[in-house]
Amino acid sequence: MRILFMGTPEFAVPSLEGLIQAGHPLCGVFTQPDKPKNRGMKLLPTPVKVCAQTHEIPVYQPEKLRDGAAMEIIRTLAPELIVVAAYGRILPDDILNYPAKGCVNVHSSLLPRYRGAAPINWAVLNGDTVTGVTIMHMASELDAGDIIAQRAADIGPDENAQQLYGRLAGLGGELLVETVAAIEAGTVGRTPQDGRKATLAPMLTRELSPMDWRRTAQELHNQVRGLVPWPAATAELGGKRCKIFSAAPETAGTDAAPGAVLEAGKRGVLIACGGGTALRILELQPDGGKRMKAADYLRGHPLPLG
């Protein structure tokens, strides 16, 4: 069964590697165009492109999918199945309808929960304790296709979105390999989603970053975890803006006003939050500085209590 793979970031690499290791013939890989990064603005290949080239699989990087050029490539490759994992583009109907075995997608949530671009982040932001991956048949409506298979995964109480991203990428690759084998054997099923239970996971923006100390420590802890590595939660400490990368909620009651500094020393910065709770900041990055432990930051930037 000839397979065309479409994916871009690190999340998609375990899915591509899984198909390769399982011996499935890949006729090509679609990935996003190389983009300039870092100070030198050097064009860097996507992680999926690097993986495909390592295995000598033809790589295609169309700028658009609706101008007919991508469809011509697909007709030449003649895939029987298209597999998509975090490609970052919406497939038009002519591509969705082309392969005889259809198009399937690896999505990092338990659909219909968290349809959209940032399901991992929103699961953490909302304080969920369980998430997972879904393999689904693709449809015109975003992430609304029939479900083929799902696998759940617990979210650790201190696990951030970046850590969860890596775990779900591996889980998605494993489930994809099983699903493709079932498709090839003709034993795959499909379960329509209940649209009434659908929730959205829109793209992240910097507007989500500022921390409001009137919220509870647990809510702010979830905000910190959910926005790693980008755009990161932000707070002003001693008048200087800092990105916050690690924190810990404390349940000890306090009657201090939200935002008051309760401790500042070897154990980091403890700040009063809403509901009589407190959050201990453990790792941060000041504007223009390096990411570091909060205790190290305090050596050069002491904070007064209160």
pLDDT tens for each residue of 143-175: 999 999 999 999 999 999 999 999 999 999 999
- Distance between CA atoms of residues 174 and 283, nearest Å: 33
Q: Specify whether 143 is located in the same domain as 292.
A: no
Q: What is the pLDDT of residue 176?
A: 98
Among 149, 180, 197, the domain boundary falls at 197
Q: Specify whether 221 is located in the same domain as 98.
A: no
Residue 290 pLDDT grade (very low, low, confident, very high; cuts 50, 70, 90): very high
Give the CATH number, domain containing residue 239. Answer: 3.10.25.10
Question: Is there a domain that residue 220 lies in?
Answer: yes
Q: What is the pLDDT of residue 40?
A: 66
> Which of 105, 93, 97, 71 minimizes the C-alpha distance to 180?
105
Q: Specify whether 145 is located in the same domain as 210.
A: no
Residue 50 pLDDT grade (very low, low, confident, very high; cuts 50, 70, 90): very high
Please say whether the dihedral angle defined by the alpha carbons of residues 174, 176, 179 and 184, taken in this order, is positive or negative. negative
Q: What is the pLDDT of residue 306?
A: 84
> Which of 23, 42, 45, 26 minimizes the C-alpha distance to 34?
45
Higher pLDDT, 249 or 306: 249
Give the CATH number, domain containing residue 86. Answer: 3.40.50.170
Q: What is the pLDDT of residue 111?
A: 98
Q: Specify whether 168 is located in the same domain as 24.
A: yes
Q: Specify whether 157 is located in the same domain as 232.
A: no
Q: Specify whether 18 is located in the same domain as 125.
A: yes
Q: How many domains are there within the chain?
A: 2
Q: What is the value of pTM for the model shown? A: 0.95
Contacts 24+ apart (CB under 8 A), 61-66: 61/30, 61/31, 61/32, 61/33, 61/34, 62/30, 63/33, 65/89, 65/90, 65/91, 65/92, 65/95, 66/92
Q: What is the domain extent for residue 170? A: 3-197
